[in-house]
Structure formats: structure tokens, C-alpha cells
């Protein structure tokens, strides 16, 4: 695609007005692809705020940014008007400390995490490694706190821990999440596998039904009720005392202690579940979703709230 001058100026303006800009699929709160989610997860560990551009909302920008940077994929990261690269490049820069330097933040802590590996789990890993010469055990913990083991050659930039005689290699983000990890062998219908206990993982999103929410409100329980829908949809039907999860609403949440009780709702539940998951992954430990959304509230608690 040829890059027209008007679109170039539009991109120039965004990059020139913000020190850090991420062109991505989706939003910071709700990434719409795994690569965008990974990049956001990395940036969120380093910066409280940065600009994002959702290319899914503008096909012209989605095509033009590729020509602008001469880079074929999304996401794309710019720092101080300089193009850094896509997801894989950002991951590499994060792991070797170059991203920290580019952002002017403190160098990463590369202290190997202490991991407890049971005897059975250690034997299982050693047996596999003995059959795979030249490969190492790699652990990754993604933005959703899913733990995955794989076999691959060591690349040299990893953090290496030794647990019960077994070397475990991790990228920097995983190493920060793996401190105090406990790994044991478990048996299930699917066969033998690992059971992983991670004390750092945030609690899962709680599920509140309409009656439970009403009881909490009637009892004066301190909580914040967040409506994740667009303003025009919220105007049709909403729960009294709630706050829109718009830009101002997000900024408000970021001022709250991490243990504040947050309850998210939408029309019937799925969108608020996504929003609740996002804030859970930002370290908020008392996050809840209203099951059935405002529609359930209307049917079960307050019929004066219109249904749609």
C-alpha cells in the first residue's frame, strides 16, 4: 500500500505527541491478538502509562503503519519517535535489558528465582532431558499466568534456575513470576503431568450473581461498581451508583489500592468478564464479574431498569 501524505502526517502526529506508542490489535485493556497481548504485558511491567492505537478501528492506519515502518506485522512499538520492532523484538529487548535502557527505567533483576521441584518431578524432567541431547527445559508463564514447559536449546539470554538438580531456563518476565514456584507430579484422567503452585498468581475473577451484589450494597460493603459498556448503551439501562469504565474510569481504578473490591458488569456478562480479567492481570486481587449483567439485575432485583 502506498502511504499518502495525509495518513503519514496523522501517524507522525501520534508518534510525535507521545513518547511511547504501541500500534496494536485491540486496546490495552482488551488486546485482540496474542502478540498484542504479549507486548502489552511486557510494557505494563515497565510503564504506568503509554499510548496505544487500535488498528482494528481504522483499516487505513492498519495498512499504512506497515508501510510507514516498513514492517509487515502488528503490533509495532515506537519509543522517542524511533521504531523498535514487533512482538518478538520487544521480547528480546526486554530479556536482554535493552528495552529498560530505551525507556529509561531501572535495569531488570536477573536473580534466579527459587523453585521447589519434587523428587518425582525432577526424575521425570531428567528422564526426558536424557533422551533429548542438546535441549534444555524451558518454563514460560504468560500474561494469563498459564504455565508451560517446553524443550529447546538455550539461547543465552535466559534466567537459569537449578531446582533439585534440574536446570530450568526462563525469559525475564517468567523469572519475575516464578519466585517461590512449587512443581509436583500429579495423576489425572489425561495421564501423568505437573501440578504447579504459584504463590504470585492473582486470585481468579469472582462471580457474583445479582442477589449477592444487592446484599453487598445493602450492607454498605466498600466496593466500586464499573459499567464496561459504551456510554450510549449504558444510558439505556444501568445500575445506580456505577461508574463507566471509560478513560476516566480506568484512570480512577489505577489510583485505588490493589485489594479494592471491583465489580464489573455489562449487558449479560461476557464483556465485563474480559474487563475483570484484565484488571486481575494488572495485580488487582479482589475482582468480580456480575453474572448475567444488568439484564439479570433488571430481572431479579430492580424491574425499573429497562431490558433491551
| The residue to which cell 535493552 is assigned | 98
As a whole number of angstroms, the distance between CA 139 and CA 198 comes to 13
As a whole number of angstroms, the distance between CA 131 and CA 271 comes to 46
Looking at the structure, do residues 16 and 44 belong to the same domain, yes or no? yes
Segment 288-295 shows an average pLDDT of 98
Looking at the structure, do residues 130 and 167 belong to the same domain, yes or no? yes
Q: Is residue 57 part of a domain?
A: yes
Looking at the structure, do residues 192 and 212 belong to the same domain, yes or no? no
- CATH code at 164? 2.60.300.12
pLDDT band at 155 (very low <50, low <70, confident <90, very high): confident
Segment 158-186 shows an average pLDDT of 95
Q: What mean pLDDT, rounded, does the chain reach?
A: 94
pTM: 0.66
Q: Is residue 71 part of a domain?
A: yes
CB neighbours of 38 closer than 8 A, spacing ≥ 6? Answer: 87, 91, 142, 143
Total domains present in the chain: 3
Looking at the structure, do residues 248 and 185 belong to the same domain, yes or no? no
Q: Which of 21, 244, 266, 290 is catalytic?
A: 266
Q: Is residue 109 part of a domain?
A: no
C-alpha pair distances (Å), 241 with each of 222, 224, 279, 303: 12, 9, 20, 16
Q: Is residue 307 part of a domain?
A: no
pLDDT band at 136 (very low <50, low <70, confident <90, very high): very high
Looking at the structure, do residues 191 and 216 belong to the same domain, yes or no? no
CB neighbours of 109 closer than 8 A, spacing ≥ 6? Answer: 176
Q: What is the pLDDT of residues 195-207, one digit of tens each?
A: 999 999 989 999 9
The pLDDT of residue 2: 66
Looking at the structure, do residues 84 and 22 belong to the same domain, yes or no? yes
Classify burial at 33, counting beta carbons within 10 Å of its beta carbon; exposed 0-12, middle 13-18, buried 19 or more.
Answer: middle
Nearest 10 degrees: CA dihedral of 33, 39, 43, 45? 90
Q: What is the pLDDT of residues 266-278, one digit of tens each?
A: 999 999 999 999 9
Q: Is residue 306 part of a domain?
A: no
Percent of the chain with pLDDT over 70: 99
As a whole number of angstroms, the distance between CA 307 and CA 294 comes to 8
Q: Is residue 110 part of a domain?
A: no
Q: Is residue 233 part of a domain?
A: yes
Q: What is the pLDDT of residues 26-79, one digit of tens each?
A: 999 889 999 999 999 899 989 989 999 999 999 999 999 999 999 999 999 999
Q: Is 33 a catalytic residue?
A: no
Classify burial at 179, counting beta carbons within 10 Å of its beta carbon; exposed 0-12, middle 13-18, buried 19 or more.
Answer: middle
Q: Which three cell numbers stand for residue 286?
A: 479482589
Q: What is the pLDDT of residues 245-259, one digit of tens each?
A: 999 999 999 999 999
CB neighbours of 37 closer than 8 A, spacing ≥ 6? Answer: 26, 31, 143
Q: Which three cell numbers stand for residue 232?
A: 450510549
**Residue that is last in its domain, among 197, 217, 252:** 197
**Residue that is last in its domain, among 147, 176, 197:** 197
Bridge partners, residue 186, by sequence: 193
Looking at the structure, do residues 16 and 70 belong to the same domain, yes or no? yes
- CATH code at 295? 3.40.250.10
Q: Is residue 136 part of a domain?
A: yes
**Residue that is last in its domain, among 166, 197, 228:** 197
Domain that holds residue 292: 206-300
Amino acid at each position: 500500500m502506498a502511504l499518502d501524505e495525509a495518513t503519514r502526517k496523522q501517524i507522525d502526529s501520534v508518534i510525535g505527541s507521545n513518547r511511547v506508542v504501541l500500534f496494536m490489535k485491540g486496546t490495552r485493556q482488551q488486546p485482540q491478538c496474542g502478540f498484542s497481548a504479549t507486548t502489552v504485558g511486557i510494557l505494563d511491567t515497565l510503564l504506568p502509562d503509554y499510548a496505544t492505537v487500535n488498528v482494528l478501528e481504522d483499516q487505513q492506519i492498519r495498512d499504512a503503519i506497515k508501510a510507514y515502518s516498513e514492517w509487515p506485522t502488528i503490533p509495532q512499538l515506537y519509543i522517542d519517535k524511533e521504531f523498535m520492532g514487533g512482538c518478538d523484538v520487544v521480547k528480546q529487548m526486554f530479556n536482554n535489558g535493552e528495552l529498560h535502557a530505551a525507556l529509561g527505567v531501572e535495569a531488570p533483576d536477573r536473580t534466579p528465582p527459587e523453585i521447589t521441584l519434587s523428587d518425582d518431578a525432577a526424575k521425570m524432567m531428567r528422564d526426558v532431558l536424557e533422551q533429548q541431547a542438546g535441549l534444555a527445559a524451558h518454563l514460560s508463564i504468560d500474561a494469563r499466568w498459564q504455565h508451560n514447559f517446553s524443550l529447546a536449546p538455550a539461547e543465552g539470554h535466559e534466567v537459569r534456575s537449578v531446582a533439585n538438580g534440574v536446570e530450568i531456563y526462563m525469559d525475564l518476565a517468567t523469572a519475575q513470576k516464578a519466585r517461590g514456584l512449587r512443581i509436583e507430579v500429579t495423576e489425572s484422567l489425561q495421564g501423568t503431568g505437573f501440578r504447579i503452585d504459584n504463590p504470585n498468581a492473582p486470585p481468579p475473577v469472582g462471580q457474583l450473581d445479582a442477589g449477592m451484589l444487592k446484599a453487598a450494597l445493602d450492607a454498605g460493603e466498600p466496593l466500586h461498581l464499573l459499567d464496561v459498556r459504551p456510554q450510549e448503551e449504558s444510558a439505556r439501562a444501568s445500575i445506580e451508583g456505577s461508574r463507566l469504565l471509560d478513560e476516566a474510569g480506568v484512570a480512577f481504578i489505577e489510583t485505588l489500592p490493589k485489594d479494592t473490591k471491583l465489580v464489573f458488569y455489562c449487558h449479560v456478562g461476557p464483556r465485563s468478564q474480559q474487563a475483570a480479567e484484565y484488571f486481575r492481570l494488572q495485580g488487582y486481587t479482589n475482582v468480580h464479574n456480575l453474572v448475567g449483567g444488568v439484564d439479570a439485575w433488571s430481572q431479579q432485583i430492580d424491574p425499573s431498569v429497562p431490558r433491551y
